[in-house]
Structures are given as structure tokens and as C-alpha cells.
Amino acid sequence: MNSLDQLRQHTTVVADTGDFDQLAQFRPQDATTNPSLVLKAVQQPRYRALLEQAVAAHPGAPATTVTEHLLVAFGVEILKVVPGRVSTEIDPRLSYDTAASVATARRLIELYAAAGVPKARVLIKLASTWEGIQAARELEQQGIHTNLTLLFCLAQAKACADAGVKLISPFVGRIYDWFKKTAGKSWDEAAMAGPNDPGVRSVVEIYTHYKRHGITTEVMAASFRNSGQIIALAGCDLMTISPALLAELDAANTPVERRLLHTGSVEAKPAPLTEAEFNAALAADAMAHDKLTDGIKQFIADTETLEQLIRSTQG
């Protein structure tokens, strides 16, 4: 078996792309999207029609409204290819607004329902801010499942577990990026590879905490920079992987053994984090604070670029 097939024996493989033409090639169970991926996709001639259809179907509508319909259109097409779920991200400008996040998520679910897609096949993506996590709590109580993204530290993961979210997406590659940039010339790539990679270590810490305490929230490692990070996390519940790295694994024969496996006893869950404790932990972790803020800014910038493209299409 190639490395990708070996990985499938230990981990559920998810495709991290808005390009649904690439999905059939790698047969992922689920797929994830974000504003950056959708923006990249609609700039390709192949997907321009989806943008034009969303604009034409809602003449005079605000760009934010057309964007929601466009995101769902992508999700509907993706679900024709993957057998499982698609993750659709709400407006990142709402990352610090719980009520608006809940309202937007409910609209997206209604749009999916109108297209014949049951809510069980959709995960609503929200940033792992305190407000985003509380929005996820409300949504989960309403039977709408969530994927908490831009997650960089154990405190965020603990708060997500407290809220009963369905799935979290700890970002391996962006953690790696931060530590590599901070280290500068002193960074030793070989010494910090595999299990020593700071992004890999973060996911292992979160996975171990969840399994040790019997937490059922799914851990989906995300944002990979190389296949070594993926192989080092074999056994994680899920991994969302870019088409380029899926292709690399598909062409490789590197042995893939299960690395993450909890076999110990289950301990009592710790007391829930308060908002003050969450904020203090995030403030004390420069990497997590920086990458959460930067990630939201990046998604906002791409969302606004997508809206500009919509407005230019509207004429």
C-alpha cells in the first residue's frame, strides 16, 4: 500500500480544499473549506459559474448574503463527491460576536436544508475565540454540529470540550511556522522534525488530554506543511490535508505506523475553564495569541476580497 492508504488504516482522511474536482481522486471521507480556499477556487474558470449563479440568483442582494449562498453552493457540490461531511465557515468578522455567529450558522443550515442537505452532513466552522466557542455551545444544543478552527493551544481545546463541540481543528503548520520564524537562524529543521515538531507536539498534547479524560470531541489535525507532520500524527481521529500533500502521500511508499493511541484508564474530566482562565491562558501563550489573531485577520481579508469579486460581478 502507498502511504496514503496506510494512513487511512489509522486516521480518517479529510480533504482541505474548495476544489471539488480534486476530491474524487483521493477519496476523502469529509472535506473542509474556508474563505481563503473558496476565494482561490472561484478565481479559476472552472468554478466561475458558481459565483455567477449565486450573483444572478440574488439580484441586488448585499455581498455578505451572496457569499453565504456561494459557500453553501460549494458545500453542496462537495457533498456530491464525499460520503461524509463538509465544513463551512461563517463570516470571520463575527469571530467575537456570539449571537451573530449563531444567527449566521442557522441561516447556513437553512440554506443547506433548502438544497436537500441534512444538517448531519454539515459542520459549521467557527474561530476558537471565547465567543466562537460559546456560539458552538448554543449550536450543539440545537443539534447543529460545529468545527472549531484556528486552534493553537490546550486552553482552546479544553474550552471546546467544555462546550461539547463536535470537532476541533488544531493547526499544525501555523504553529510550526511561528516557532521557526521566532527561532530564526538557530532553527534546526532536522532536530525539530517528526515528533519534535512543535505543531505535532501540540496536537499530541490535545489528543492525549481528550482521550485521558474520555472527551468525545473529535480531533482533526489541520494546516500541514509537510508529509512528515502527517506521518508523525497517524492515529489522530481525523486529518484535513491539502491536495498537494494527498498527492505526495499517494505517490509515496514511506511506512506509516500508528503514533497516537491512548490505552490507559479514563480519568475524571477537569473543571470547566472560566472565561477569565481562558483569556489568561491565551494571553500567556504568545504563539497561540498571535496565530489566532493573524488567522482571523487573514480570513477577513480573503472574505472581503471575495465580496469585492461578487460586487464586481454584480456590475
Annotated active-site positions, please?
Answer: 125
Q: Which amino acid is at 47?
A: Y
Classify residue 262 by burial, with Cβ atoms within 10 Å: 0-12, 13-18, 19+: middle
**Which triple of cell numbers denotes residue 9?**
488504516
255 φ/ψ angles, rounded to the nearest 5 degrees? -60, 135
d(CA 200, CA 90): 27
> 94: closest CA among 65, 61, 140, 135?
135
H or E element at residue 30:
strand 30-32
Q: How far is CA 95 from each of CA 133, 201, 250, 315, rounded to the nearest angstrom?
A: 9, 26, 36, 30
d(CA 199, CA 190): 15
Residue for grid cell 487511512: 8
